[in-house]
Structure 1
């Protein structure tokens, strides 16, 4: 891998960590995994339960990247959900997950929305 490609990848990993912090995940950071200095194979840590594979490349290889994310998440042994965060120049960041994993997350989201509605309905009745 060329030095410029490594630098581009490192910048993207730092960008992702910053965005995660902006969303309130204050512990998000780029790992030292590329140097072998940590047991966590995620490119960025700080999203609980998510194994982050970060790719900033022009030629998308989503299935290869997802295979890598699944292998690395499994090797981590913590039951992490593998997700590929990818970006091309002058495009927005995309997140790729397998359908079963996405559905698990969506069901949790839906359950939270239903709970919120019940709480709001209860508050309205008391007014």
Structure 2
């Protein structure tokens, strides 16, 4: 587990990048790696609560950002840019996260295709 705020933020950034990288798997089991994101939501909740205690205006700004411009959540592309600029700390780090996310997404897509093929063969 991360031992500093900077490390946690880096992990959150990396997880975010991986969780939205395309292609998206269709099989529920292949999507399991994305479930990790839900644990991050718990951490975000605690952090936002703490921030609200000491800087309510900043917490409000985050809540507004999180709602998104159309009340449908944060803009994924804008957040990708923000993660690259503020969290990754170096373009090479961000590119590494992006490549890892794409690789994981491609592996999940391959797993799903193989699983579907086996399901078709088993039902034939």
Higher strand residue share: 1
TM-score (norm 2): 0.33
Higher helix residue share: 2
